[in-house]
Amino acid sequence: MSDGGATQTQTQTQTQAGSSAGGGSQPSRRGRSGRGRGDGGNGRGGRRGGGRNANPQPRAQAQPAPAPEASIENAPESEPSSSGRRGRGRGGNRGGRRGGAVRGGTVSGTQRTFGGSLTTAADPNASDAQGLSADAPDFVPGQPVVHRGKQPAPKQKKPQYPLAPKSVAADLPTRIHEDISNGQYECVICSSEVLRPSRVWSCGLCWTVLHLSCVKKWFTSQLKKDDDTRSWRCPGCNSSLTEEPSAYHCWCGKDINPRNVPGLPPHSCGQTCSKPRATCPHPCPLECHAGPCPPCTLMGPTQSCFCGKHEVTKRCTETDYGNGWSCKEICGDLLPCGEHFCATPCHSGLCGSCEIPVQARCYCGKEHKEIPCDRRDDLQMSFNYGQVSSSDSEDISEDSWFDGSFDCGATCGRKYDCGLHDCEKTCHSQDEMPAHCPSAPDVVLHCPCGKTPLEELLDQPRQSCQDKIPHCKKMCDKILSCGHQCMDTCHTGPCNTCFQKQDISCRCTRTVSKTLCHQGEIATPMCFKVCQAQLNCSRHKCGERCCTGEKKAMERQAARRKHRQQQAPDEVEAEHICLRICGRTLKCGTHHCSQICHAGPCPSCLEAVFEEISCACGRTVLQPPQPCGTRPPECRFDCRRAPPCGHPTVKHNCHPDDVDCPKCPFLVEKACICGKQRMKNRPCWLEGARCGLPCGKKLKCGTHTCRKECHRPGECEDADIPGSHCAQSCGKTRKSCDHSCQDSCHAPYPCKEDRPCQSKTFITCDCQHRKKEVKCMATKTNPTPDRDILKCDDECLRLQRNQRLAVALNVDPDHNDDHIPYSDTTLKLFRELSHTWAQNQEREFRVFASEASEKRLRFKPMPSFQRAFLHALAEDFGFDSESQDPEPHRHVSIFKTPRFVTAPKKTLAQCVKIRTDAAKTAAAAAAASSSAAAAASAPEPFNALLLSAPRFGLTVDEVESALTNHLKAYNTLSFTTAFLPSEEILIRAVPVTSWGTTPSAIESSLASLKPLVARTVTKDGIAAAATMVHADASLNVLRREGTSANGSSGGWNAVVGRAAAQRRTVAPKPAADARPASGFVSFSKLARKKVVEDSVADDWEAAAESDE
């Protein structure tokens, strides 16, 4: 077959396979046979003609998918839907059951492939492929049908349906519903879509819809920033809110966690909204919706105008519920005066006072004028006795009554009934008869001050009002306006000005001064004391002179110091509330705090940045708007800055300019700052390498050198000192006393030896026991100044007496025995307890024992095991002890008794060490006895040289000086020279280090050294011979050269020989005035002296003092 025929046959095969996989294109009789649930089928077969991936014939011809022929058994399965869902629409993967592609090449005998001519369109070109074929396999009942090899249908891409555009509805609720339903609504916090299944929250001011989880995080972060307030800002409108976003509910708030019901708006409960309107009594009649409720369309109630003459009914939106309406007609209500009516157009509220002008006359009748109606006072009847002029009023006749309605303020001036005196009152209503004269004899019965009756002052009573009223001699004592009493004598008329002195305090009540009476008007003075109280902001001080709140501030601060209840900030006195502007720079670093000065940190900056904020390299950018103070973002790209040293850049992330790049880690060679050395392997970033050596340059004085370590040129220690001297001590030797000059450097001038030397020296007593530090005080003229003689004290006498006793009793003063003055119980408890605590208690015991005046010592309460230690220790010291008080206050008290002599010389720690060393020695002896057989077979190597028959009077220094040249050659060994009780000299070799020198090496070194030593000691006459021996650490000779390990010259024979030697006699110490002892040592035996019995004195202490 040609290539063209093969291509055509392959295309037809693919088309047939695609038709079988996608379902038929013709409608079925039942309308369900074409319902595709395979790859992407989303329609019903009877309606839309097959699944979404059905391959129509023209498309199959236009885009063939050539593939090698293979059996259907090896063909790949049809790919499942990309969405992986089993829904009714797109993405079903059950194509094998209803029109889908066959998933395998082998089909069981009970199933038949759905396809054939019933579900494929008539295609004349495909008749050969889909009709009878001669090469068809035989059909065997009960066996699976084997299909001929066909190419699988090519994979078809799902068509991309465009998303619905953003809603352009006229009202906000509809736009929110449509955008959420179409996936076009974004959360302003996370920028993700707000969908129907999302849990949302809506702002009640701007109606922005957000994810509930996002707004909760926003709410938490806002509260962390503003600790003082409980409000937070909406991310959509930046409004301040106080309600916490808690639960997810529908738009109207009736349903908590509403379900997503198809057919209803997203997040709606489906009930009536019923939200109340702010300007309308009708609730919202719409279904639960997002956004604001629409305006009310109902009719409002019937309203009357302000004056009540007319009524009107309008639409609810046009009805003014708050202000009402005016009909614009004249009000006509009766005014408060009760005479006139309101002439104002229909108005709200009361009509107000009457402003109509009326004619009025004063009470006294002297003044007549036109005044507003509301300014008239109460009407009072007044009599016209002739004071009303005929020109002012034509209807008021003389001796008639008239109505007065205001006070003119003029003096009345009407004659009293006496006809002599005038009324001095201000305008008042007039009676028909004149008033009685207040100076009439029947009215005035006392003197002007009212204390003395006139009967006592006059011989005969007054006859008329013109008679003089006498005065008494008493004080007036009338109360003045200032509150004081009048100090004048009885007088007529008003009292004079008060001139009394009174104490008046300043505003802060610190100072009190005397001043004249202020006539009731007190003007508080001010002192010069400046208030130092802290204001409520805790940043500023008051600074006012004579502050009225200083005393309150002191009381408040005193209460706070006494740990009383802390007062709230609003309880600070009003005088000490800071009214300045804070002005501190906010965290953003750009703006300043505009609040009133306050305590604590300033709030966050509320400004915003509307420019892009990028990192240093510009590859990471934050889009505006951003809160003020936002730092550049962290960039994950590498830093592009090149290091100034020229080395390769250390890999690190991009960082701001105020952060330095990592230091260059490369090691380079640098010269130290003093220039003496070249320092290798120094970090490149190190600017100044230092060698650490002293400078050593001569200073300006020419005598001293710079002691500073490596430093830059010109920075020597005398760089800042003027003159030719330095800051070091002179250090030159004084000629008068050989001490160094302690004065500061005084070059080039000589030392001033005319001043006494201030160096320290010592003077001692005759026995050299006491020593005292004194100043030298030597001068050029007096090199040996006189000093006080230090006398011996009682301790010196005691030591001298003990020395004489030791010489008499042949006692070695340096002898230390192994006696332990403590019981085993005390040592056991000391080991078990803390050594620090036990030593502290022992110190308390010794201090108590040394104080002769102390008789009793009480310890603090402690546990029983610690009290047991104190009891045991008291028994060793010779004290009595007892436990007192019950638990937990039980403690130990100790008492001095006659059996107490002195405290033990050895401490517990020393005794424990002695006991430990003894145990180690016993263990070593046991180990030595157990390994005696092994030691016999393997003798210890030689480690010493023994000089026999030494010269008489020989010293250690002479031996060492004679052999020093030979011993120096062996620098790995250290040699120790000692005299043995057997009158032999032992030179023991010890390795200098603990490693590298074995016992066999030491023996080899001694073998090579022995001939040289023997020749030298024989030549110089130091000793007769030199042999190699083995000696232990106690200088016991255990083995000699030329003898076996079990020989008679070593072992126990040597020990017995040493034990039989005569005990060394202790030489007495030389007296203070005796000649100094020489280095000569005699090894001869002392001659036995005849024992002379001394007489025993009755009082040995007195005898000892007389001997001294």
* Ranges of each domain in the chain: 1-74+85-103+111-126+141-158, 166-296, 504-600, 688-721, 942-1060
Classify residue 59 by its DSSP letter. H
Model's pTM, two decimal places? 0.34
Q: What is the homologous superfamily of the domain 942-1060 according to CATH?
A: EIF_2_alpha (3.30.70.1130)
729 close to 745: Cβ distance less than 8 angstroms: yes
List pLDDT tens digits, range 865-924: 999 999 999 999 999 999 988 888 899 999 988 888 888 888 999 999 988 888 888 888
List pLDDT tens digits, range 676-727: 999 999 999 988 889 989 999 999 888 899 999 999 998 999 888 888 888 8
Spatial CA neighbour of 903 closest among 865, 860, 854: 854
In whole angstroms, what is the distance from residue 527 CA to residue 506 CA? Answer: 6
- For the chain, the straight-line distance linking the first and the last C-alpha, in angstroms and rounded, comes to 151
**pLDDT at position 694:** 92
User: What's the CA angle centered on 778, arms 776 and 781, to 5 degrees?
Assistant: 175
In whole angstroms, what is the distance from residue 740 CA to residue 751 CA? Answer: 10
Spatial CA neighbour of 53 closest among 156, 176, 165, 161: 156
Residues 6+ positions from 883 with CB-CB distance below 8 Å: 867, 871, 890, 891, 892, 893
Give 274: exposed, middle or buried? Use CB within 10 Å, 0-12, 13-18, 19+. middle
In whole angstroms, what is the distance from residue 270 CA to residue 251 CA? Answer: 10
Q: Which residues of the chain have pLDDT under 70?
A: 1-162, 226-229, 390-395, 563-570, 811-817, 931-938, 994-996, 1043-1108
- Within 10 angstroms of residue 378's Cβ, the number of other Cβ atoms is 8
User: What's the CA angle centered on 850, arms 844 and 851, to 5 degrees?
Assistant: 95
Q: Show the 3-state SS of 931-992.
A: CHHHHHHCCCCCCEEEEECCCCCCCHHHHHHHHHHHHHCCCCEEEEEEECCCCCEEEEEEEC
Whole-Å CA distances, 627 to 226, 498, 595, 905: 14, 70, 19, 81
Quick one: tokens of 911?
A: 């005794």
**pLDDT at position 570:** 55
Residues 6+ positions from 1084 with CB-CB distance below 8 Å: 952
**pLDDT at position 133:** 56
838 close to 887: Cβ distance less than 8 angstroms: no
- In DSSP terms, 209 is beta-bridged to 202
- Within 10 angstroms of residue 683's Cβ, the number of other Cβ atoms is 14
**pLDDT at position 179:** 94
In whole angstroms, what is the distance from residue 594 CA to residue 579 CA? Answer: 12
